[in-house]
Amino acid sequence: MKHIVIIGGGIAGIETASALTDAGHWVTVIEKDTRVGGKLNNWSYLFPDFTPAEKIAESLLEKCREKDFSILPDTEVKAIIRNQDKFNIHTSGNQNLEADAIVLATGYELFDARRKEEYGYKIYDQVVTSADLEQLLRPGESLTVAAGKNPKRIAFVHCVGSRDEKTGNHYCSKVCCITGVKQAIELKKRLPEAEIFCFYMDLRMYGKHFEELYREAQEKYDIQFIRGRLSEASEKIDKSLLIKAEDTLSGRPLKMNVDLLVLLVGMEAGKGTASAAFSCGVNCEESGFLKSMDSLLRSNISQQEGIFLAGSCTAPMSLNDTLLHARSAAIEVNNYLKKSIK
Ligand SMILES: Cc1cc2nc3c(=O)[nH]c(=O)nc-3n(C[C@H](O)[C@H](O)[C@H](O)COP(=O)(O)OP(=O)(O)OC[C@H]3O[C@@H](n4cnc5c(N)ncnc54)[C@H](O)[C@@H]3O)c2cc1C
Ligand code: SF4
């Protein structure tokens, strides 16, 4: 029986583990956190159909219980040494594992919005990120702002830390436009009196049902989309925020008072991915995401033989795309192991 070690127990790592176990392999997942599931554990309702994230997380845990693969939580890789066609993996828990193949499924990290100082994140209480808002939208959480009031006017800013020369992140994070639409609808359902504005550079509704959801946001929920770039946010004496923007369609400057400002933060490759890549000599793109053999036919195969890639450690992607990428990683690993038996 072949042994595969998967580094990262988010949705990509667990889906790859499940598919490889079904194919008859022995699989171990190394996860640095206490629990598996990755970012999914932090979300409320999922685009495109508002399925509760808890439901998907529960089905993931069910998979872990049903299938016979091992999970090492609170564990990181210390060293990986190639020994002919095997790998020796030394972990922070002092285990030594021998593997026939490795899958990197280390996911992404959120852009640190403090780097866009002009938006006032962690300076003003009424500025939150899309990730913070996910927590506030979970059942039982309250959405009050200053003086315990419900926000009456809310603005979203797109492309925070993506498509941005200043931060060095030139790529599009792909899921934040639709996350903004999903969160704006969710807010409007809870606060029907609120006015909601989304400031965007371009709107990228690339996935199935995304465009329909964007239309619904405008037609059914009266959410206003303004093509404009926000220059700064400042706090007023009553704790509301004054935001300044340029309406790039009319070319006019614009000022607006809002009670809540939501920054749609992008995805970055992050330290977990960098350290896993470093341990096994896998290359990264300029963006920091992991480099595959090519983007079309071999997007799951790294440039190191026997080491494979799954999910958002390779590029920003939605849960659905992550699941598909993870399953294709399992097929590539399986083909590789079959060849190495001959
Ligand atoms: C605000 C926001 C809302 C979103 N909402 C949705 C939505 O509604 N619908 C949707 O389809 N998608 C949504 N997404 C996208 C979704 O979060 C990703 O598609 C998904 O999390 C990718 O899964 P992953 O397993 O590749 O990565 P992750 O979820 O990042 O999981 C990676 C795992 O690897 C572990 N890890 C990292 N480094 C190491 C290491 N060195 N050693 C061991 N373990 C390690 C991490 O702890 C983590 O558990 C949203 C994204 C954002 C930012
Ligand atoms: S998905 Fe939208 S908000 Fe996110 S980086 Fe791309 S264009 Fe900007």
Domain ranges of the chain: 3-108+269-341, 113-266
State the fold for domain 3-108+269-341.
Answer: FAD/NAD(P)-binding domain (3.50.50)
State in Å: Cα 169 to ligand 2 middle: 12
Domains 3-108+269-341 and 113-266 share a fold: yes
Residue 342 pLDDT greater than 60, yes or no: no
- pLDDT tier at 341, thresholds 50, 70, 90: low
| Per-residue pLDDT at 16 | 97
With a 6 Å cutoff on the Cβ, whether 176 touches ligand 2 is: yes
Mutate which of 319, 321, 325, 327 for ligand 1 pocket (most atoms within 8 A of beta carbon)? 319
Is CATH 3.50.50.60 correct for 113-266?
yes
Going by their DSSP bridges, the two strands 26-30 and 3-7 should be labelled as parallel
Which ligand is closest to the CA of 186, given by its number? 1
| Per-residue pLDDT at 81 | 95
pLDDT above 70 covers a percentage of the chain that reads: 99
Ligand 2 atom at minimal distance to the Cα of residue 171? 5
Which ligand is closest to the CA of 130, given by its number? 1
Over residues 295-330, the pLDDT tens digits come to: 889 999 999 999 999 999 999 999 999 999 999 999
Over residues 177-219, the pLDDT tens digits come to: 999 999 999 999 999 999 999 999 999 999 999 999 999 999 9
